[in-house]
A and B are shown apart, each in its own frame.
Chain A
């Protein structure tokens, strides 16, 4: 009777397996499948879009089983899997705080192989729903068509914020948000219309940030949490080309200083401590409470001859938002003598615990530095470490925090060394990160054929609802000028 029961159970299992389409008696593979995008053992937020993928093998048929919580389903394809959105989101919700088990069977050269199963870890904490970025052909000094776009991270919907095809001959850059708020945004226009567009709720203002005193436009921005101030660097930026095989472009400053824009009365304020002739100051960023302004600083050099000797330290100065004044001394937080390298793109986490930055051999435009990696400064104990879990052999540079401080996005060129792609990773309270994953796309081949880079990825808590016609009308209007004041 026992034997009969065993046979019956086996037959039943076989029947279930055949009904669900799972191949019987496959060859057991001992390795993880090679997938693109790589989703094996990654950690995802509960609200991310379906992670469609293809298998990098000569697959004739593909069967994939997803299981998490009480949800499980099997999907089939030839060499790729498109996951229905509804099923995927239900699976993530059920697996939040736990993981999704993924098993893959692939028919290769006539026989079925079962790869080692893997997990997708699902965090309960959602990531900010939108990602804003600039889509542009990579590198070099000119542009043809480019624009600022936003992508709903819970789906595959992408929409335009502004595109230069509406403004022929112009380029836009440095889009920035106040603590991930879609209602407080700015970006610069460069070209025939040189201006900074400031969006505060329903109000759109066109600013001319070039003053008689600075002689330059404001460039790299960062918002004060109050929304009343925006710190900028004013940079004179140059771009040159390498002639050797393994390098392409060098971007550097020949002049740079810091200013803070008082948005209420359109006034640039600065301090002699951050507006100097003997050093380059750039990439300002406020602390989470707005009381400290961090920035990168390096000694000036003879450019471009000494381009690879310019190394930036991370410095700070206090800032009093009530009076709009700076402190009376600059502190070096991480010195270039300590790292032997150069710091760029410092960004403080919204909870005030960490400051993430990019470390490269020299200079500040780390996007073109293959050795550029992400590092983390613990603001409580001042410890510094590389985020090894997310770094790669190619440039890992610009990054942005999600408003919950646990997720971050960063721009990486790991796919091919040239095109910048947004990757996401989780960072726990101790500063430990997880294996990153690329922005999911409906078609797994998307990045193979996409000839645009996704530059300056910024996480945004909601949809940016700019009124296109109003924006264009403001762009066409006269820019409002700003005043300049050095506060001793």
Chain B
């Protein structure tokens, strides 16, 4: 049976390699991405929670997908879940292709949609429920093609379309397409019926989403293309796996493979197919996978664990030119007390590297992370505001990470009833239950709160005098924090650096003189020296004005040299960049603000 051996090689060994590869790929290169993805949901194994899924199409796929996403929390959990899910998808497709196209169908055919899924899954916003919905739709197709009597099969097909829509959303199109093509291939339909059945299939497939859209509260477009709650405006890569399954099913049904002079099991064809698979996979991953995002999420993971030194080291290693990376770098520098000395050593996208906005148009990354800086600065209410908005904009308006932050905030604020509500919810989850149970000890227990270092520290910096402000008044926030607690060095550095990065020297000088006290540092931090020297260079101030502060002679000498070179070159950045590219003066002169 030499042929059988080759068959096994092509049909099984390559997919096994494929699954092992996906396990390693997701485990090694998407570890932080998938860990973060789990935090965007709160999954409870309760009947009420299950009922919540019935409010949208694809309830079964979404529920199973969210259930599985919980397992993204432990190490390698995500890689295991995704690999097994992809394997199931391949097995289902393989059985379908074999059933409808025979054994001569190239192994590329069932594998191609799985490859597309792999690539799509590298995106933060492609949920595993989308793969589950493909599996559900293919399962329906398998049952359908197994029914021999034509009438029974057709009846099952018609009845199944709405069911596939309810359970798997727009993967219903897979079933509808397979139904249509299979019936055409079988050529059992004659005369008027040959037109009627296709029309019925199309009418049901289009009509069901449109009829149900008011129940599901969807626009017509959303109803026809519904995948999951994860993405408000799905793009091409969200639909490619679905299209891939339709193409695979169609190809296996429409081509009479026994008559095709194509040796799918030969070594050459196997090699060619593997080449195509590799090319599609590589192309897909290159298109969808965001390597920088993975690095940013690693910074986030380390920050969440309080490893600020590690965050800073990684920032230096990565050198990312991205405002969220800068957001973590700046927080790490402030936590390590080196922000004003090292600010210009790193990419600074003006104030957007200090604070990130949160609104409906932002992505899941920013809405989840934007509260962090307020929390660390000590503006607990602003952190709360941001965490609530982040929750509102999360898929299904639930976010376990933000719920944890809200528990912390409400414990710090002494709002125990609200904290208890969230504790009770998280206690019902599989992987956040222990954390929530641990938090319960602080509820209504001032003594226990007093023993907790983190609660004491947070309560110590909460402003005692009230201030009314809108959501994005950063300077007002920072001034308020410094006024309330002059020892809040992080807030002071953020305030002064905010002015400097906004190139607002008068505000910097004003707040510096108001809040920065001589003796706070042995030597004035570098970026403050550089900021103040701009005033001296422009003759708005004299050195005597800053005699209370200790300037580094080297910085003063560099300033003189920078000024000389700047004047000699008529302000040419190319002349200055090598020597002064990492000074504030260079930033002040050459950084371009978004509105410029």
Chain B residues numbered 413-448 whose CB sits less than 8 Å from any CB in chain A: 413-415, 417-418, 420-421, 424-425
The answer to the question of B380 belonging to the interface, with a C-beta cut-off of 8 Å to chain A, is yes
Report whether A140 and B425 are in contact in the complex, using a CB–CB cutoff of 8 Å.
no
Q: Contact at B466–A242, with CB atoms within 8 Å? A: yes
Instruction: Compute how far the CA of A307 lies from the CA of B469 in the bound complex, rounded to whole angstroms.
Output: 12
B463's partner among A163, A244, A250, A417 (CB-CB below 8 A) is A244
B591 at the interface (CB under 8 A from A): no
Contact for B384 among A248, A445, A468, CB less than 8 A: A248
- Most A Cβ at <10 Å: residue of B417, B462, B463: B417
Given A139-B388, A243-B480: A304 and B468 interface contact (C-beta under 8 Å) = yes
Is A451 touching B398 in the complex (CB atoms < 8 A)?
A: yes
Interface positions, chain A 267-306, Cβ under 8 Å from B, are 304
Do A446 and B48 have beta carbons less than 8 Å apart?
yes
A243/B217 in contact, CB under 8 A: no
A137 touches B388 (CB 8 A): yes
**B468 A144 Cβ-Cβ under 8 A:** no
A241 and B381 contacting across the interface, CB-CB below 8 Å:
yes
Q: Is A416 within 8 A of B463, CB to CB?
A: no
A448–B424 CA distance with the chains assembled, in angstroms: 7
Residues 466-499 of chain B, each 1 if its beta carbon lies under 8 Å from chain A, else 0: 1111110000010010000000000000000000
The interface residues of chain A lying within 8 Å CB-to-CB of B552 are none
Q: Report the separation of the CA atoms of residues A143 and B360 in the bound assembly, to the nearest whole angstrom.
A: 8
Structural contact, B397 and A451, CB atoms closer than 8 A: yes
B464 beta carbon closer than 8 Å to chain A: yes
Which residues of chain B from 165 to 192 have a CB within 8 Å of any chain A CB? Answer: none
Cβ proximity bits B311-328 to A, threshold 8 Å, 1 near / 0 not: 000000000000000000
B385 & A445 in contact (Cβ 8 Å cutoff): no
B388 and A416 within 8 A (CB): no
The interface residues of chain B lying within 8 Å CB-to-CB of A147 are 217
Chain B residues within 8 Å of A449, by CB? 44, 46, 48-49, 424-425
* Contact of A418 with B by CB under 8 A: yes
- In the complex, are the beta carbons of B418 and A417 less than 8 A apart? yes
Nearest Cβ in chain B — how far from A34, in angstroms? 15
Least CB distance from A141 to B in Å reads 7
A-B contact count (CB 8 A): 110
- Give the Cβ gap from A420 to chain B, nearest Cβ, in Å: 13
Contact with B along A407-446 (1 / 0, CB 8 A): 0000000011111000000000000000000000001011
Looking at the assembled complex, report how far the CB atom of A346 sits from the nearest CB atom of chain B, in whole angstroms: 26
Task: Answer whether residue B510 sits at the interface, using C-beta atoms and an 8 A cutoff.
Answer: no
| Cβ contact of B381, chosen from A242, A419, A469, cutoff 8 A | A242
Q: Does A473 contact B (CB under 8 A)?
A: no
Taking the nearest CB of chain B, how far is it from the CB of A37, in angstroms? 15
**Assembly CA distance A246 to B466 (angstroms):** 10
In the assembled complex, A474 has its CB within 8 A of some CB on chain B: no
Please indicate the chain A residues that have their CB under 8 angstroms from the CB of B417 in the complex: 415-418
Candidates B214, B462, B477, B480; contact of A469 at CB < 8 Å:
B214
B359 contacts partner chain A, Cβ-Cβ < 8 Å: yes
Residue of B nearest to A239 (CB): B470
Nearest neighbor of B52 in chain A, beta-carbon distance: A449
Residues of B near A418 (CB, < 8 A) are 415, 417-418, 421
Choose among A143, A418, A445 the residue with the greatest number of B CB atoms under 10 Å from its CB. A418
Q: Taking CB as reference atom, which chain A residue is nearest B419?
A: A416
Whether B389 sits at the interface, judged by CB under 8 Å, is yes
Shortest beta-carbon distance, B537 to chain A, in Å?
38
Judged by a CB distance under 8 angstroms, whether B95 is at the interface is no
A142 engages B480 (CB within 8 Å): no
Q: Pick the contact of B214: A166, A242, A248, A451 (CB < 8 A).
A: A166
The A-contacting residues of B in range 211-255, CB under 8 angstroms, are 214, 217-219, 232
Given contact pairs A416-B420, A449-B425, A241 touches B392 in the complex (Cβ within 8 A): no
Contacts of B49 in A (CB 8 A): 449
State how many angstroms separate the Cβ of B257 from the closest Cβ of chain A.
Answer: 45
Which residue of B47, B214, B380 has the most chain A CB atoms within 10 A of its CB atom? B214
CB distance from B52 to the nearest CB of A (A): 9
Whole-angstrom distance between the Cβ of A272 and the nearest chain B Cβ: 32
Bound Cα distance from A361 to B596, whole angstroms: 47
Say whether A2 faces chain B, with CB atoms less than 8 Å apart: no
A145 to B217, CA, bound (A): 10
Return chain A residues, CB-CB under 8 Å to B47: 443
Inter-chain contact A241/B465, CB cutoff 8 Å: no
Known: A137-B391, A140-B389, A144-B393. A243 touches B467 (CB 8 A): yes
Complex alpha-carbon distance, A169 and B219, angstroms: 12
Inter-chain contacts of B530 with A (CB < 8 A): none
Q: Evaluate whether A307 and B466 lie within 8 angstroms (CB atoms) in the complex, with A144-B392, A242-B381 already known.
A: no
**Closest chain B residue to A141, Cβ basis:** B471
CA distance A419 to B415 in the complex (A): 13
User: Quick one: closest B residue to A416, CB to CB?
Assistant: B417
Chain A's closest residue to B388 (CB) is A140
Name the B residues within 8 Å of A379 (CB-CB). Answer: none
Residues of B within 8 A of A245 (CB): 380-381, 412-414, 462
Pick from A143, A163, A416 the residue with the most CB of B within 10 Å.
Answer: A416
Beta-carbon contact of A419 and B360 below 8 Å: no
The 4 closest A-B pairs by CB, nearest first: A416-B417, A165-B217, A240-B468, A144-B392
Question: Can you name 23 A-B residue pairings with CB atoms under 8 Å?
Answer: A137-B388, A137-B391, A137-B392, A140-B385, A144-B392, A144-B397, A165-B217, A166-B218, A242-B381, A244-B463, A244-B466, A246-B413, A247-B466, A248-B381, A250-B468, A307-B468, A418-B421, A445-B48, A449-B46, A449-B48, A449-B425, A468-B214, A469-B214
